[in-house]
Amino acid sequence: MATIHVDIVTAERTVFSDEVEMITAPGIDGELGILPRHAPLLTALQVGVLRLKRGGEETLMAIGGGFMDVTPTKVVILADSAERADEIDETRAEEARRRAERLMSQKLSEIDFARAESALRRSLIRLKVADQHRGRRRSRPPSERG
């Protein structure tokens, strides 16, 4: 099957760099599906789940917004933040969710409320990715588990 090279980079590190068969990214106007030989595209990304498919396997990441540059042979994602599902600390993400919800219940300025809402969105995405990853690990037959 045809592949396309993907680089996912944050200010701190390269999170992923490899060939994949398909990318599903959270674009600002909805999910975008990218296959090899896709038409050139430059778009903003929102907080959401990024999916990379390769060889029947799917890698999930929590992405905190950014930009995606697509050419027919390569995709570069410059992410504000990006975490692979197996890197997510669920306890920390749950604490961040509770903290953001507590803040939002207080009287806040519009700016502080928007910041708390953004933190809540990021924590919920991280929890969703971790939960989906955990569910996949549980659902695999024992012979396929690492």
The residue range of the domain holding 31 is 4-85
Is 144 buried (19+), middle (13-18) or exposed (0-12) by CB count in 10 A? exposed
What is the biggest distance separating any 2 CA atoms in the chain, rounded to whole angstroms?
Answer: 54
**Run of H or E including 52:** strand 41-54
Per the CB < 8 A criterion, the answer to whether 126 and 83 are in contact is yes
Is 71 buried (19+), middle (13-18) or exposed (0-12) by CB count in 10 A? middle
- Return mean pLDDT, the chain: 86
* Residue 90: how many other CB atoms lie within 10 Å: 14
pLDDT band with cut points at 50, 70 and 90 for residue 106 = confident
Domain at 14, CATH number: 2.60.15.10
Domain boundary among 85, 114, 132: 85
Backbone angles phi, psi at 109, to 5 degrees: -65, 165
pLDDT, tens only, 41-99: 999 999 999 999 999 899 999 999 999 999 999 999 999 999 988 888 888 888 888 88
Residue type for position 58: E
Query: pLDDT value at position 136?
Result: 56
Strands 4-9 vs 74-79: parallel, antiparallel or unpaired = parallel
**How many domains is the chain built from?**
2
